[in-house]
Amino acid sequence: MKFTTLLTSAAVALGLATGAMAEDKTKVGFVYVGPVGDGGWTYEHDKGRQAVEKHFGDKVETVFVESVPEGPDAERVMTQMALEGADLIFTTSFGYMDPTINVAKKFPNVKFEHATGYKTAPNVSAYSARFYEGRAVQGHIAGKMTKSNIIGYIGSYPIPEVIRGINSAYIHAKKVNPDVEFKIVWAYTWFDPAKEADAATVLIEQGADVILQHTDSTAPQAAAQEAGNVVTFGQASDMSEYAPFPRVSSIIDNWAPYYIARTQAVMDGSWETVSTWDGIKEGMVEIGEISDAVPADVKEEALALKAAMAAGEYHPFTGPLKKQDGSDWLADGETADDGTLAGMNFYVEGLDGEIPQ
Amino acid sequence: MIVLEKRPQPSKAWSYATPLVAVVATMVFGGLLFALLGKNPVEAIGTIFWEPLFGEFAFYYRPQLLVKGAPLVLIAIGLSLGFRAGIWNIGAEGQYIMGAIFGAGAGLAFYPLEAFYIFPIMVIAGAFGGWLWAMIPAFLKVRFGTNEILVSLMLVYVAEQMLASVSLGLLKNPEGFGFPGSRNLQSYDSAHNAELIAGSGMHWGVVTALIAVIFAYVLLNRHMLGFHIRLTGEAPRAAKFAGVNPARLILFCLGLSGMLAGLAGMFEVSGPAGQVSIDFNVGYGFTAIIVAFLGRLHPVGILLAGFLMALTYIGGEIAQSQLGLPAAAIQVFQGMLLFFLLAFDLLTNFRIRAARSEVA
């Protein structure tokens, strides 16, 4: 109790002090789970940070700490940023959720933004992207490109976000190729090049000639390149260094517009708690260039699919769809609601295997 | 020509001096590294070592040193006893995880009951979990002569898989919307390892670490078992003649180090971390090995080394956000510390002499 007061008063005092010193310089902090050079998840968040710096120039100061473990270390890093006068702090990993809420309680005047979680508070917003829209495009291309009809999928953790991606990719692969089969390997990591490479190799040995990944490093791309005839997609970042083959397209997380908008809101004093879940339409999810390794007609279909989602005409989870156990999920023409999608813990009909529990 | 000459007796002066020399050398070469990265080395090193202790926000960082240092000290104390006797428990990270799983599991079994006896049960369960995990390499070594280094290390990876499994299944928060991770023990009063005095950083894990330091000191200096441990490490043949039972010693050392690592995990999960999650372990069990050696396997040395290590972590984070130093540079800096320690350790056992070439 006393400590909280102490922290708050220190923060207030500091807020006043910095306010007096640097009139309108807004300080924005970023907490990263991986290294900024991971080439995937953290790399894109850091690009968002750089975009904020570029957009606001002298009016903003950004700071970041990378490779912060989820848990007490994250709590300390956030507290440190708040103490040092940050006005807005982006915490960019699911595991930072409870620490973010804890720290936010101690610093009511600092705004927090937590990525991919579900908890909010008067000074904590949540934001995430509809990556599953990108997965639909990937699934379509994958279903068309596979010759062995076996598509390998490197899952990170069996959480709703990842399961959503698997379902979306599967539905759209199956649509264009009824014989397609998914093999899923759980890596239990977001970023571990060695493990990811192992997973890719195992899938390739099992006959997969398309690899989709929900992990952040380029190791699976390298493994596919070595194998020679395996198609991959960039994850979180474009990974264009592996284009035009094996990387034929990618899902790119574009956080820059959101980061700029939220920083602007703090500057204007119009910041409010929101739960943002944006997709292709808003530009938070982008489809990286589809390379020439993909036949022209497939590319055209994929782009049409993307355009339909961008226009809001098509939802990747549109009925009729059944769950894996054969029970009905969505009736003909019905689309999934966000609540079900947010907590998705089941496979759709046709996928093999069980979600690890 | 320079030759190394083995000292008849390890130098006492050097054994005390090497940690200090290593710290100084780390500062010099670390500073050089920071300079090469285009940062002001004096400012960077100052930030790492000064800011957490005496900087503007030291009131927050000082308690954090206890939070970060306590598990390191607690684990390192256990490891040091085995290391002294030549019993190499490299798997403290796994025992730490198992302690957390057992401790949190025991607490969550009572949820939402509030009772005074829940926390003590969790402490016992945590210690038991760590002990049990260490007993596997201990038993295999005693019974089949397997190498405890390999077995204990491999069991870390098994423990990590079990951690992922319980985070996704057995201990998953039923109100967590399908996301992995247990209920947060910080919001379950009976199971919460809260700060004893708010804002001090003092939680039961810190207290236990301090007790462990005293216990280890007394054991090594005043107790027959402690004498046997030292004897086995320094003169195995003499130990045999003195009637030391190696099997009993192995079971004791591995069991105790496992127990302490388990306790560290339990106090961490019920306090600062709050919940069992897939990425709960952040390497305390491995870092504690560095701490044990940095502290010369001496209880008081370990206490100091633990807090020095915590200082580099916390100072390192400050240097990252204030000066933009990359995380990898901080890790190299920490690595240098162990490297220089081992390098200068040579001087404890060897003397450097200038030799005439005709000798060769």
Query: How would you classify the pairing of strands A321-322 and A60-65?
Result: unpaired
What is the sign, positive or negative, of the torsion defined by CA atoms of A197, A193, B278, A253?
A: negative
A16-30, A85-99, B10-24: range with lowest mean pLDDT: A16-30
| Domains A2-129 and A132-252+291-342 fall in the same CATH topology | yes
Please report, rounded to a whole number, the percentage of residues in chain A having pLDDT higher than 70: 93
Cis peptide before B174 (omega within 30 of 0): no
- In CATH terms, A132-252+291-342 corresponds, of 3.40.718.10, 1.25.40.10, 3.40.50.2300, 1.20.930.40, to 3.40.50.2300
A-chain residue closest to B179, CA distance: A159
H runs (alpha helix) in chain B: 12-36, 41-49, 51-54, 58-84, 92-109, 118-144, 148-168, 204-222, 224-234, 236-241, 246-270, 284-294, 299-323, 327-349
Tokens of A166: 């698997």
Calculate mean pLDDT across residues A171-195.
Answer: 92
| Residues A37 and A237: beta-carbon distance below 8 Å | no
Question: Three-class SS of residue A277?
Answer: strand
- DSSP, collapsed to helix, strand or coil, labels residue A252 as strand
If one counts every other C-beta atom within 10 angstroms of the C-beta of residue A289, the result is 17
CA dist B281 and A18 (Å) reads 37
Q: Contact B196/B203 with Cβ under 8 angstroms?
A: yes
| Distance from C-alpha of B32 to C-alpha of B29, rounded to nearest angstrom | 5
The sign of the torsion formed by the CA atoms of A173, A174, A175, A178 equals positive
**Using a CB cutoff of 8 Å and minimum separation of 24, what contacts does B236-242 make?**
B236/B86
Please check whether residue B310 is in contact with residue B206, taking contact to mean a CB–CB distance below 8 angstroms: no
- The per-residue pLDDT for range B149-203, each reduced to its tens digit, is 999 999 999 999 999 989 988 998 888 777 788 999 988 988 998 888 888 888 9
Q: CA geometry: angle at B185 spanning B182 and B189, to 5°? A: 150
* Element spanning A129, H or E: strand A124-129
Of B276, B172, B160, B169, residue with least CA distance to A355:
B169
pLDDT averaged per 10 residues, chain B (length 360): 81 83 91 92 90 89 93 96 93 97 95 91 97 96 94 96 90 82 89 86 92 94 87 84 87 96 96 90 92 90 92 90 88 88 83 66
What Rg do the C-alpha atoms of chain B give, in angstroms? 22
Adjacency order of strands within the sheet including A181-186 = A181-186, A150-155, A210-213, A231-234, A247-253, A285-288
Among the partner-chain residues B198, B273, B318, the one whose CB lies closest to the CB of A80 is B318
Q: How far is CA A329 from the centre of its chain?
A: 25
Interface of A with B (CB under 8 A): 1-3, 6-7, 10, 29, 35-36, 63-73, 75-77, 79-81, 83-84, 94-95, 98, 102, 118, 157-160, 188, 342-345, 356-357
A79 close to A92: Cβ distance less than 8 angstroms: no
pLDDT at res. A160? 87
Domain map (residue ranges) of chain A:
2-129, 132-252+291-342
B47 contacts on A by Cβ (under 8 Å) = none
* pLDDT tens readout for residues A200-247: 999 999 999 999 999 988 999 999 999 989 999 999 888 888 988 899
Is residue A165 very low, low, confident or very high in pLDDT (cuts 50, 70, 90)?
very high
- For residues A205 and A183, is the Cβ–Cβ distance under 8 A? no
| CA atoms of B280 and A96, how far apart (whole Å) | 12
- If you count residue pairs, one on A and one on B, with CB atoms under 8 Å apart, how many are there? 105
Chain A CA closest to residue B274: A71
- Alpha-carbon separation of residue A314 from A137, A178, A317, A335 (angstroms): 12, 21, 9, 9
**Contact in structure between A217 and A193 (CB atoms under 8 Å):** yes
Q: Would you state the pLDDT for residue B357?
A: 58
Cα distance between residue A245 and residue A231, in whole Å = 7
Residue A218, CB-side half-sphere exposure with 13 Å CA sphere? 18
* Interface touch A66/B320, C-beta < 8 Å: yes
Cα gap A62→A26, rounded to integer Å: 8
Residues of chain B with Cβ-Cβ distance to A69 below 8 Å are 279, 282
pTM metric for this prediction: 0.85
Contact present, A27 and A85 (Cβ < 8 Å): yes
Question: Among B60, B96, B97, which would you mutate to test the A interface (most chain A Cβ atoms within 10 Å of its Cβ)?
Answer: B60
Residue type, A153: Y
Q: What are phi and psi of A185, to 5 degrees?
A: -120, 130
CATH superfamily of A2-129: Response regulator (3.40.50.2300)
pLDDT number for residue B177: 73
Q: What is the rounded distance in angstroms from the CA atom of residue A310 to the CA atom of residue B126?
A: 52
Closest residue in chain A to residue B161, using alpha carbons only: A188
Mean pLDDT (chain A, rounded): 89
Q: Residue B355 has what pLDDT?
A: 67
The dihedral formed by the CA atoms of B350, B353, B359 and B360, expressed in degrees to the nearest 10: 60
Domain boundaries, chain B: 72-302
Tell me: the pLDDT tens digits for A285-335?
A: 999 999 999 999 999 999 999 999 999 999 999 989 999 999 999 999 899
Q: Above 0.85 for ipTM, yes or no?
A: no
Q: Give CA–CA dist B323/B288, Å, rounded.
A: 28
Predicted pLDDT of residue A15: 45
DSSP A348: B
Best A46, A62, A73, A190 residue to mutate vs chain B (most B CBs within 10 Å): A73
